[in-house]
Amino acid sequence: MPERGEEFNDAVIATIEAIPCGEISTYGEIAQESGYPGAARAVGNLLRTVPGLPWWRVITSTGRLVPDKEVEHARLLRAEGISVMRGKVTMRGRV
DNA sequence: TATCTGACGATAG
DNA sequence: CCTATCGCCAGAT
């Protein structure tokens, strides 16, 4: 079992970096894949604390984009080939 | 050790 | 669809 501390940020960062281009994930998914289910909040915090990560590929479970950066976020997602409508991400078994 | 914070998640109104 | 509240977790002070 993973020891919390550096393992947490390292695991989460690795998971985020592992997101393929054109694909997206949610904070909860990343937390669970990293081995810390329920730590969606901590993931969001880490993602905002540690720069250099593809934060634009990470959205909320409701398809919500990063607040105050929805325009920037949507622009980056569209650059990856993701469809964004009214500040929300589509392509998820939907539409 | 205690308390507050935050790019979350789900439910309630 | 919106805001409000509770529960969750790790980090910072």
Using pLDDT thresholds of 50, 70 and 90, give the confidence band for residue A90. Answer: confident
| Through-space separation of residue A95 CA and nucleotide C12 C1' in angstroms | 42
Is residue A31 within 8 A of residue A39, CB to CB? The reply is yes
> What pTM does this model have?
0.91
* Average pLDDT value over all residues in chain A: 90
Residues A5-21 have a mean pLDDT of: 92
Q: Is A24 within the bounds of a domain?
A: yes
| Through-space separation of residue A40 CA and nucleotide B6 C1' in angstroms | 11
Residues A66-91 have a mean pLDDT of: 90
The CATH number that applies at residue A68 is 1.10.10.10
Alpha-carbon distance A47 to A43, whole Å?
6
Q: Which residue has the tokens 């894949």?
A: A33
Nucleotide nearest to A39 (CA to C1'): C9
Q: Structural domain of residue A70, as residue ranges?
A: 6-89
| Through-space separation of residue A86 CA and nucleotide C10 C1' in angstroms | 32
Query: Which of A49-53, A64-68, A79-83, A89-93 comes out lowest in average pLDDT?
Result: A89-93
State how many domains chain A has. 1
Rg (CA), chain A: 13
Residue A94's pLDDT is 47
Does A78 score more than 60 pLDDT?
yes
Q: Is A13 within the bounds of a domain?
A: yes
Report the percentage of chain A scoring pLDDT > 90: 79
Q: Is A94 within the bounds of a domain?
A: no
Three-state SS letters, chain A: CCCCCHHHHHHHHHHHHCCCCCCCEEHHHHHHHHCCCCCHHHHHHHHHHCCCCCHHHEECCCCECCCCCHHHHHHHHHHHCCCEECCEECCCCCC
Residue A87's pLDDT is 81
